[in-house]
A and B are shown apart, each in its own frame.
Chain A
Amino acid sequence: QVQLVESGGGVVQPGRPLRLSCAASGFTFSSYGMHWVRQAPGKGLEWVAVISYEGSAKHYADSVKGRFTISRDNSKNTLYLQMNSLRAEDTAVYYCAKEANPRISAALDYWGQGTLVTVSS
């Protein structure tokens, strides 16, 4: 069955970097676009970034553009989110999610359980 397991969250000081990982299994990882979505405490869902199946196309939310970088290693079935210049407002549970269709970006059908990132001094 499809499994997505995030790791790398924790407490980090403002301005410091952090890298999240998402280990995928149960499907052909290299065939699907992958996303990061976050939810700040008490807030709604916020889309963060997407990477195409082969890694050539990437898009970001305005709130993280220039600070976050999404990447993937298809040989390791792993998705990454490099977060630099972290701010208090980046505090959230970060989810990785798989696109439902290998051909078009239309919906996210499997999600990990999330990893909490807390930005605080």
Chain B
Amino acid sequence: DIQMTQSPSSVSASLGDRVTITCRASQGISSSLVWYQKEPGKAPKLLIFAASTLQSGVPLRFSGSGSGTDFTLTISSLQPEDSATYYCQQANSFPWTFGQGTKVEIK
């Protein structure tokens, strides 16, 4: 199975800050990488698929990049509603696997 490793596990940043989360796959997954946002008590929300394609309705301050084994999710200007846990997930092969999550907090 493909292992997904996210870093950092948590980040605390101020409003307006740029936040970057990284995700590494244990083997190459081309661009088959997805990012989700998860708030407590709510269903996960799709942010980005195919490593860099923004899902419809997602604010432009979110962006994704990478291919192969190394990927990043960037929030260009942190907003209060971005406080959540973010997960990467590989969709290259079954079983799909998620990273362990990165909790983003507002200072």
Q: Which residues of A contact B (CB under 8 A)?
A: 35, 37, 39, 44-47, 50, 59-62, 95, 97, 100, 105-109, 111-114
In this assembly, does B74 line the interface, its C-beta being within 8 Å of a C-beta of chain A?
A: no
Q: Which of A46, A50, A107, A114 contacts B94 (CB 8 A)?
A: A50
A-side contacts of B62, CB under 8 Å? none
Query: With a CB–CB cut-off of 8 A, which chain A residues contact B36?
Result: 45, 108
Interface size on B, residues (CB 8 A): 25
Known: A44-B101, A50-B96. A106 touches B1 (CB 8 A): no
Contacts across chains A and B counted by CB atoms under 8 Å: 62
Interface string of B76-98 (1 = CB under 8 A from A): 00000000010101010011111
**A47 and chain B: residue at smallest CB distance:** B96
Q: Which residue of B lies closest to A35 (CB)?
A: B96
Main secondary structure of the interface of A (DSSP, over half): strand
With an 8 A cutoff between CB atoms, is B20 at the interface?
A: no
Whole-angstrom distance from the CB of B22 to the nearest CB of chain A? Answer: 16
> Which one, B32, B55, B97, B98, contacts A109 given CB within 8 A?
B55
B94, A59: Cβ atoms closer than 8 Å? yes
List A contacts of B101 (CB < 8 A): 44-45
Q: Are the CB atoms of A62 and B1 closer together than 8 Å?
A: yes
B21 on the A face (CB < 8 A): no
B46 interface neighbour in A46, A47, A62, A109, Cβ under 8 Å: A109
